[in-house]
């Protein structure tokens, strides 16, 4: 059993990852959500988590984190996730509110109390870097950080960088240099473990959670369909799937350096194999990944029927 905190910026793929984790409450004890500016503004992504909680009748604390990167300006991504950050589903206005303390304050408190916590980081690493700067002793209580971010060959936001790392490269550098065990799911493994567009049709059926997943995919897949692709990565799902079954993945050990500047290179993750303890997931058993995901949504449909 892993005790996990999900640090996120929903985000269609963040939402899929969250639902998959919820379906596996026997293996993943989800302590809380921390939000951070990324796909959209902090206000919007926090509202999206609260909307998911409302729809799924959850009572998991939500902590609002950093509203901008350490040094850069916010650069939301409406082309990928819409103006709301999670366009598509029409969800109820949340009644529930976020907690009174900030995500960074929460991390400080919870990590004092809990022996070892896994952070599942699905967004820019601003909250975690701020925590490690303000309270470096907390690092001892972080079992591992399993993150979606980085790219080994080519980027999705500039020539070489992936969005989460690019959005706050200074924060990523602090996290990768911290000495904490970091497992990185870069773009390549997310593409390898992606969903076929035709497989998303399985969610066109009865079921409260299938309905939500269908509405999310209807918006999210437009990007791939417009480009004639038959498959799309569900990026943030990969760290959760890794925690549920490591055997689905191959990986390499090495050292990740973060490039801080350059139009083509800002946010690049330069991986030197064999030279360090960072773990980069390389390849995925796609069908095995999808089986866990589909089963998770089926399980939630049953839970809410
Ligand atoms: C990452 O960026 C965001 O748009 C997604 O939610 C994911 O975390 C993919 O590059
Ligand atoms: Ca995300």
Q: How far is the CA of 12 from the centre of ligand 1 (A)?
A: 9
Mean pLDDT, the chain, integer:
97
Q: How far is the CA of 235 from the centre of ligand 1 (A)?
A: 6
- Note the pLDDT of residue 21: 98
176 vs 284: CA distance, rounded Å = 23
Ligand nearest to the CA of 8: 2
- Note the pLDDT of residue 244: 98
Of 194, 186, 193, the residue nearest 223 (C-alpha): 194
Q: Can you tell me whether residue 145 is helix, strand or coil?
A: strand
Mean pLDDT (whole number) for 76-81: 90
Exposure class string for 209-247: b at 16+ Cβ within 10 A, else e: bbbbbbbbbbbbbbebeeeeeeebbbbbbbbbbbbbeee
Q: Which atom of ligand 1 is nearest to the CA of 12?
A: 6
Segment 209-220, tens digit of pLDDT: 999 999 999 999
Q: CB under 6 Å to ligand 1: residues?
A: 11, 13-14, 39, 77, 80, 122-123, 148, 156, 162-164, 235-236
Segment 23-69, tens digit of pLDDT: 999 999 999 999 999 999 999 999 999 999 999 999 999 999 999 99
* pLDDT band per the 50, 70, 90 thresholds, residue 168: very high
Tokens, residue 151: 């790219």
* pLDDT band per the 50, 70, 90 thresholds, residue 10: very high
Q: Which atom of ligand 1 is nearest to the CA of 80?
A: 4
Domain 2-303 fold is: Inosine-uridine Nucleoside N-ribohydrolase; Chain A (3.90.245)
Residue 122 DSSP code: -
12 vs 10: CA distance, rounded Å = 6
Of 132, 91, 76, 81, the residue nearest 108 (C-alpha): 132
Q: How far is the CA of 160 from the centre of ligand 2 (A)?
A: 18
CB 152 within 8 Å of CB 273: no
Specify the higher pLDDT residue, 125 or 112: 125
């Amino acid at each position: 059993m892993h005790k996990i905190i999900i640090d996120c910026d929903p985000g269609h793929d963040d939402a899929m990852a969250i639902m998959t984790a919820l379906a596996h409450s026997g293996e993943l004890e989800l302590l809380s959500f921390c939000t951070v500016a990324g796909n959209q503004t902090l206000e919007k992504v926090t509202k999206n988590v609260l909307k998911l909680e409302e729809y799924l009748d959850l009572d998991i604390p939500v902590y609002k984190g950093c509203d901008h990167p350490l040094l850069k300006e916010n650069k939301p991504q409406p082309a990928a996730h819409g103006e709301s950050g999670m366009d598509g589903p029409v969800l109820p206005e949340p009644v529930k509110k976020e907690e009174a303390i900030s995500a960074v304050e929460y991390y400080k408190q919870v990590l004092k109390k809990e022996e070892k916590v896994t952070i599942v980081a699905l967004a820019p690493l601003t909250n975690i870097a701020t925590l490690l700067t303000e309270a470096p002793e907390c690092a001892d209580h972080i079992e591992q950080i399993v993150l979606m971010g980085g790219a080994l060959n080519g980027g999705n936001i500039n020539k070489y960088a992936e969005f989460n790392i690019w959005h706050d490269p200074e924060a990523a550098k602090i996290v990768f240099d911290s000495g904490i065990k970091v497992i990185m799911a870069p773009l390549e493994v997310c593409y390898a473990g992606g969903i076929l567009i035709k497989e998303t049709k399985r969610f066109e059926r009865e079921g409260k959670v299938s309905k939500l997943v269908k509405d999310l995919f209807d918006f999210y897949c437009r990007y791939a369909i417009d480009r004639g692709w038959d498959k799309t990565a569900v990026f943030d799902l990969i760290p959760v799937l890794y925690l549920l079954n490591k055997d689905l993945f191959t990986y390499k050990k090495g050292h990740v350096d973060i490039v801080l500047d350059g139009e083509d290179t800002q946010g690049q993750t330069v991986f030197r194999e064999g030279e360090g303890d960072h773990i980069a997931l390389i390849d995925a058993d796609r069908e095995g990944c999808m089986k866990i995901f589909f089963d998770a949504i089926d399980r939630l449909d049953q839970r809410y029927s």
